[in-house]
Amino acid sequence: MKLTPVQINIAEYPAALHPYFDGAKLYDSSCSPNARVYFIDKDTGYFLKIGRVADLGHEYEMTRYFHTKGLAAAVVEYCFDAGQDYLLTEKLKGDDCTTVKYLEQPKRLAELLGEQLSLLHSLDYRDCMSGCAVTNHTEQYLLKAKRNKLTGNFDKSNFPNSFGYASEDEAWAVVEKYGRLLKTDTLLHGDYCLPNVILDDWSFSGFVDLDSGGVGDKHVDLFWGAWTLWFNLKTNKYRNRFLDAYGRDKIDEDLLRVIAAAEVFR
């Protein structure tokens, strides 16, 4: 995670946030054009995420829910003002999995990623149905793919050949025929990538960026777990190690191909 020192005009932010800014050093840690993220170096540390109004509501709900399971940081403040959402969370102890010391041990990292995902997915989804903000992730997931298909949003540039499809029609045919096989029986992170898993010297500390979470099909997380190893390590050779650590008996490779087909409609 890159931290760039910044200065801000506190008066431009909601009053509820002012005590956290007071006397603190601030750093920009944004990694997406869709949201601004600041690290506030005060107390044990805070992260402030800023998005368009209503954009962070889902992330707020999912972060709060994951925190009740001991899987995410505590939410300190959630507010909106002047067309923007503000989500302030405590900093988890440790660093994300793109830190050099983790990337330097790719075999260990791939295994840990698989084992931790298996632990997340082992939670009883029926318990999650009573407290989780999104209990129909699969329905929403397929509807989003359909909307993007209708509006021509087809992009396979971020996927290696083993995940992608040659054409829009080829990918959509798979979604149409086999999308109904996806289940809704697993608590998902939704964006299970290395920057979103925090470790404290190889011990799991928690998850961040939970705006895509909910109860859905486990193969969504499995797809992204395999993808992030390819993307961040610049090779696909740790994919099998990750899937083996998760448990091959719990994986349907055909459903991974269905997820791959849906994901090109973004």
Q: What are the residue numbers of the active site? A: 191
Angle between helices 219-233 and 253-263 (to 10 degrees): 70
Q: How many whole angstroms from its chain centre is CA 224? A: 9
Residue 253 half-sphere exposure toward CB, CA atoms < 13 A: 7
d(CA 110, CA 118): 12
Start-end of H helices in the chain: 18-21, 57-68, 100-103, 106-121, 125-128, 137-150, 168-178, 219-233, 239-246, 253-263
Distance of CA 171 to the CA centre of its chain: 23
| CA 24 – CA 231 distance, rounded (Å) | 34
**Number of Cβ within a 10 Å radius of residue 236:** 16
74 φ/ψ angles, rounded to the nearest 5 degrees: -75, 140
Q: What are phi and psi of 220, to 5 degrees?
A: -65, -50
Say which DSSP state 216 is in. Answer: E
